[in-house]
Amino acid sequence: MPLWQIISAAQPNLNADVRNDRLSTFIVVTAADGYQAVIAWGEIDPEFGNQPILVAYAENGAPIAGGSGPIRLVVPGDARGGRYVSGVVNISLRDAPVVGQ
């Protein structure tokens, strides 16, 4: 399932009065072992990067099992795969800090 679809379904509270407020938002994906990866909102937003970053629960038609499962973040195009997060337990949205405050 596309990460964008999951984030959109959550209906995050963005500030429409701030120009491109969503571009200061980032997503933190956390694994059961504490491993984390960050995805910028602009990477997955169809109006900006539109990257096909996925949250997977199956591979080749079978549930993901073992240390890689049951949910995995898949970031196609990452050269080293460092943002592939296995055993996802949390996906959270965060705002970048405001400069000068």
Q: What is the pLDDT of residues 31-78, one digit of tens each?
A: 999 999 999 999 999 999 999 999 999 988 888 887 777 999 999 989
Average pLDDT, the chain: 89
Residue 101 has pLDDT above 60, yes or no: no
Residue 19 has pLDDT above 90, yes or no: no
CA angle (65 as vertex; 60, 71 as ends), nearest 5: 85
Q: What is the pLDDT of residue 67?
A: 72
DSSP 41: H
- Section 12-20 average pLDDT: 74
Q: Report the predicted TM-score, pTM, of the whole model to 2 decimal places.
A: 0.88
